[in-house]
């Protein structure tokens, strides 16, 4: 790479809202999306909620000349909904499916069946190693009573850890997707603090689009207006996040969003707004390298880690409560079945006993499934909690050995092995 070299990247991100049979005017919107992507010829187009593999295959055929590389990330029962199109060759693809992703019995929400995941593509561009992540976290169906909060925090932590551990040799890291998190939400702060990623909307000096960068706005005719009532301007839950490491500097030259309608025709491409960012990567003079060793950043990191730990701890307790409750129901169901067997054998209320047999067996099997599910949930949450605990333990030791070394130690960017770990 030449000293004065600048790499310019044009990125497109959209949650496509392409649910077969359910999403309005899906075929038309996907067709227009393909036309738009072909016309604009971005370096990378990252899409979420492309639930039908057929939609992906149609797009792939259409985009082949301008985006020769493409990948669809398969997981869960339905799929992750994630796919990517790239103008440049992609070295490597892989994916990580989140351990926790809602509840199978919340069939009307459906997230559990999707197998939400994070996809990774590694590109080598002009001698730079670029790790690009695309993801979609569990939806938030009620902000007042959000039963999925703990799962979303656990997903944010898994995402942060996946990025942290897989991007150690990357020069540039880019994360796009629908996080289903508002900018100040715990999961979003946890992700940004632990990975050191910067928010394109907050960093750019040239933004044009919806007010406050919102990616779900009331002007969009596909948006459920009632859900947006508490937010007159809309909400910002889709992101372009980035960082550069080791001698490089990345900045967001321009950021555009759609504003409730297709940039060309009047009708919107999705119920979400598209994000279009132009990023510049260049060699960094030392003062430009973002340093993770600032005191205040370190203390922010610790405070957000503690907050996440508490949230996961609550989640573990709740999951264990459900598992215990289910085990009592199992006991009760077994008792009921024994009673019904005795009644059926003894004659008398035989027909009633036989009638009650079905709900009793159903109760037993249902409670068994609930028990297994919440045991698994408790294990998953306590796994994430243990990882946070370990990071916080190291922070404590670092504080003892002086505040200057603390965040660097936490981020694993220091050589040597000066601390003990319990």
Rounded to 10 degrees, the C-alpha dihedral 282/133/299/308 comes to 170
User: Tokens representing 185?
Assistant: 């939400």
Per CB under 8 A, contacts with a copy of itself among 341-360 are: 351, 354-355, 357-358
Q: Which is nearer to a copy of itself, 284 or 413 (CB)?
A: 413
Cβ at position 298, least distance to a copy of itself in Å: 16
User: Tokens representing 400?
Assistant: 């003892």
Among 23, 95, 155, 406, binds a copy of itself (CB under 8 A): 95
Which range, of 9-17, 160-168, 210-218, 232-240, touches a copy of itself by CB under 8 A?
Answer: 160-168
Please tell me whether residue 8 binds a copy of itself under the rule CB under 8 A: no
Q: Which is nearer to a copy of itself, 106 or 228 (CB)?
A: 106
User: Tokens representing 216?
Assistant: 């779900």
Among residues 71, 136, 272, 374, the one annotated as catalytic is 272
Q: Which is nearer to a copy of itself, 86 or 195 (CB)?
A: 86
Per CB under 8 A, contacts with a copy of itself among 298-317 are: none
Cβ at position 222, least distance to a copy of itself in Å: 27
Cβ at position 35, least distance to a copy of itself in Å: 22
Please tell me whether residue 332 binds a copy of itself under the rule CB under 8 A: no
Q: Which is nearer to a copy of itself, 69 or 214 (CB)?
A: 69
Among 20, 89, 331, 403, binds a copy of itself (CB under 8 A): 89
272 in active site = yes
User: Tokens representing 333?
Assistant: 């169901």
C-alpha 390, offset from chain centre:
23
Which range, of 12-20, 28-36, 93-101, 183-191, touches a copy of itself by CB under 8 A?
Answer: 93-101
Among 263, 346, 348, 362, binds a copy of itself (CB under 8 A): 362
| Selection from 118, 163, 164 nearest residue 138 by Cα | 118
Per CB under 8 A, contacts with a copy of itself among 166-205 are: 166, 168-169
Cβ at position 324, least distance to a copy of itself in Å: 14
Q: Which is nearer to a copy of itself, 127 or 403 (CB)?
A: 127
Among 32, 66, 113, 307, binds a copy of itself (CB under 8 A): 113
Among 329, 361, 392, 408, binds a copy of itself (CB under 8 A): 361
Among 45, 47, 79, 364, binds a copy of itself (CB under 8 A): 79
Where do we find the tokens 């319990």? 422
Please tell me whether residue 229 binds a copy of itself under the rule CB under 8 A: no
- Return the ∠ at Cα 96 (arms to 90 and 97), rounded to 5°: 135
3-state SS track over the chain: CCCCCEEEEEEEEEEEEECCCCCCCHHHHHHHHHHHHHHHCCCEEEEEEECCHHHHHHHHHHHCCCCCEEEECCCCCCCCCCEEEECCCCCEEEEEECCCCCCCCCCCCCHHHHCCEEEEEEEEECCEEEEEEEEECCCCCCCCCCCCHHHHHHHHHHHHHHHHHHCCCCCEEEEEEECCCCCCCHHHHHHHHHHCCEEHHHHCCCEECCHHHCCECCCCCCCCCCCCCCCCCCECCEEEEEEECCCEEEEEEEEEECCCCCCCCCCCCCCCCCEEEEEEEEECCHHHCCCCCCHHHHHHHHHHHHHHHHHHHHHHHHHHHHHHHHHHHHHHHHHHHHHHHHHHHHCCCHHHHHHHHHHHHHHHHHHHHHHHHHHHHHHHHHHHHHHHHHHHHHHHHHHHCCHHHHHHHHCCCCCCCCCCCC
Please tell me whether residue 127 binds a copy of itself under the rule CB under 8 A: yes
Cβ at position 41, least distance to a copy of itself in Å: 16
Cβ at position 220, least distance to a copy of itself in Å: 31
| Selection from 101, 136, 154, 161 nearest residue 308 by Cα | 154
Which range, of 85-93, 196-204, 218-226, 304-312, touches a copy of itself by CB under 8 A?
Answer: 85-93
Total count of residues recorded for the chain: 422
Please tell me whether residue 161 binds a copy of itself under the rule CB under 8 A: yes
Q: Which residues neighbour 211 within 8 Å (Cβ) at sequence distance 6 or greater? A: 217, 233, 234
Please tell me whether residue 386 binds a copy of itself under the rule CB under 8 A: yes
Please tell me whether residue 416 binds a copy of itself under the rule CB under 8 A: yes
Please tell me whether residue 92 binds a copy of itself under the rule CB under 8 A: yes
Residues with active-site annotation: 272
Which residues in this chain contact a copy of itself in the complex, by CB under 8 A? Answer: 68-79, 86, 88-97, 99, 113, 115, 120, 122-127, 161, 165-166, 168-169, 351, 354-355, 357-358, 361-362, 365, 372, 375-376, 379-380, 382-383, 386-387, 390, 394, 412, 414-417, 419-422
């Amino acid at each position: 790479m030449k000293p004065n070299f600048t790499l310019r990247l044009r990125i497109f991100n959209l949650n496509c809202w392409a649910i077969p049979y359910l999403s309005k005017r899906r075929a038309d919107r996907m067709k227009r999306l393909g036309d738009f992507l072909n016309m604009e010829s971005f370096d990378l187009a990252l899409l979420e909620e492309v639930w039908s593999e057929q939609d992906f295959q149609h797009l792939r055929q259409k985009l082949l000349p301008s985006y020769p590389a493409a990948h669809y990330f398969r997981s869960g029962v339905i799929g992750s909904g994630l796919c990517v199109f790239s103008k440049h060759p992609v070295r490597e693809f892989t994916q990580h499916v989140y351990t926790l992703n809602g509840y199978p019995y919340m069939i009307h929400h459906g997230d559990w069946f999707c197998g939400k995941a994070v996809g990774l593509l590694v590109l080598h561009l002009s001698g730079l190693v670029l790790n690009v992540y695309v993801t979609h976290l569990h939806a938030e169906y009620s902000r007042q009573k959000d039963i999925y909060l703990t799962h979303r925090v656990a997903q944010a932590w898994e995402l942060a850890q996946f990025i942290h551990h897989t991007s150690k040799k990357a020069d540039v890291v880019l994360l796009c997707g629908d996080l289903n998190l508002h900018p100040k939400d715990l999961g979003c702060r946890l992700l940004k603090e632990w990975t050191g990623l910067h928010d394109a909307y907050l960093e750019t000096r040239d933004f044009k689009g919806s007010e406050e960068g919102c990616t779900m706005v009331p002007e969009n005719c596909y948006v459920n207006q009632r859900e947006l009532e508490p937010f007159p301007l809309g909400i910002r839950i889709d992101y372009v996040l980035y960082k550069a490491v080791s001698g490089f500097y990345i900045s967001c030259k321009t950021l555009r969003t759609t504003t409730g309608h297709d940039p060309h025709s009047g009708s919107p491409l999705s119920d979400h707004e598209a994000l279009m960012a132009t990023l510049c990567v260049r060699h960094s003079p030392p003062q430009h390298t973002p340093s993770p060793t600032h005191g205040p950043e370190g203390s922010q990191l610790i405070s957000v880690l503690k907050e996440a730990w508490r949230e996961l701890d609550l989640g573990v307790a709740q999951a264990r409560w459900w598992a215990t409750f289910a085990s009592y129901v199992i006991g009760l169901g077994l008792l009921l079945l024994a009673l019904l067997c005795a009644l059926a054998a003894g004659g008398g209320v035989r027909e009633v006993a036989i009638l009650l047999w079905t709900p009793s067996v159903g109760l037993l099997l249902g409670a068994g499934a609930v028990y297994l599910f919440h045991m698994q949930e408790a294990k998953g949450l306590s796994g994430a909690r243990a990882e946070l605990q370990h990071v916080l333990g190291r922070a404590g030791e670092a504080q003892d050995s002086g505040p200057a070394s603390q965040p660097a130690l936490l981020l694993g960017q220091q050589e040597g092995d000066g601390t003990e770990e319990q």
